[in-house]
Chain A
Amino acid sequence: MNQDQKGIQEQLDRARAGDRDAFAELFEPYRPLVTRIAIRLVGPDASDDVVVDTCVKGWQALPRFEGTEALGRWWCRIVRNAALDELRRLRRREEALPTQEPLATLEDDGLDDPLARVADPGAPSPAQLAERKELGELIERALAKLGEDHRTAILLREVDGLEYRQIAQATGVSIGTVMSRLFHARRRLRRLIEEEQAHETA
């Protein structure tokens, strides 16, 4: 057992003994991962609650965690359960399901700022910026037409950088299914982008 594993084991022991600070320390490295998954599964508005619920579930389940499973995968499974609970609650309250709205937009596309190019000769030209912006909008429209499972898989992989195994745990399917979903999602997204493009030029 190396030093890192020893440290984690000590934190686990302390957390199991009821030390909430040790538990929080144990969770902290996985918080960005859990947050990303929560956002993809329930949307940004409800994700904070899901992250906290994930911790509560993890805290309750800690005595049953034998340490034989990687902590990351353990958290992936727990956040999925917490997200499903949240979705049930949302449905029960007849609130809208997640819309996967863009979380960050390019507020300043640089199109109106030629001085920026003078300052940085390596910066993209206005034509390139306009092309990128157009592609971004095409992708948004295409993404909105993608099925929920495909969209979630694409975002978890391409934006959040999760491993296949983590996506499998987070979405409750096998690794094979994740790979298949990603294959079909990429192909479908590309086709939808081309359709959008054709529609625009028609």
Chain B
Amino acid sequence: MKRHDWSDIRGQLQARHAVPEVADAAAFRDRLSRRLEGVRPSSAPAPAVGTGTLMFALAAGLLLLAGAGAGVWSMIARPDAAESRGLAARGRTVESVETPAGSGFLIVSDPRRKATMILVSGLNKE
């Protein structure tokens, strides 16, 4: 059995898995510019965790603990406004909560399934 040089193996990997040239810079810049519309840079270093954030985290934790095995489920995600609207359109009750530190919680309830979902972190705003 022939033992192949690593350089042969590397050559084959490069031939088969090389990433194509990245998209045109101008097109990418246009797309990026549109995406950055209305997105502000965070103006300061992230503040220390405040009382409000702790209270929300505590409430979320309690809700999860209380709900274990009782039809309550959770999901860590990064919801955006469109998803919030989509959830609402599907009959969920959506409550948006923002902490003083700027992070967000969405508390989503599904009355039919008697389930509650908490979506946290980075709630986008429009």
Contacts and interface: CB of A to CB of B under 8 A. Distances in A.
Given A136-B15, A198-B1, A56 B39 contact: yes
A139 B16 contact: yes
A56 B17 CA distance: 27
Interface string A136-176: 10011001000000000011001110000000000000000
Give the size category of A's interface with B: 35 or more
A194 B1 CA distance: 8
Interface string B19-33: 110110100110111
B78 A88 contact: yes
Given A35-B19, A158-B10, A89 B4 contact: no
B13 interface: yes
B16 A24 contact: no
Contacts of A100: 17
B76 interface: yes
A135 B46 contact: no
Interface in A1-30: 16, 18, 20-21, 23-24, 27-28
14 contacts: A16-B41, A20-B33, A28-B25, A55-B32, A64-B46, A104-B20, A135-B8, A135-B9, A136-B16, A158-B10, A158-B13, A159-B18, A186-B6, A193-B9
Given A132-B12, A135-B8, 6 more contacts: A20-B33, A20-B36, A104-B18, A155-B17, A158-B10, A197-B1
Interface of A: 16, 18, 20-21, 23-24, 27-28, 31-32, 35-36, 39, 48, 51-52, 55-56, 59-64, 85, 88-89, 92, 100, 102-106, 132, 135-136, 139-140, 143, 154-155, 158-160, 186, 189-190, 193-194, 197-198, 201
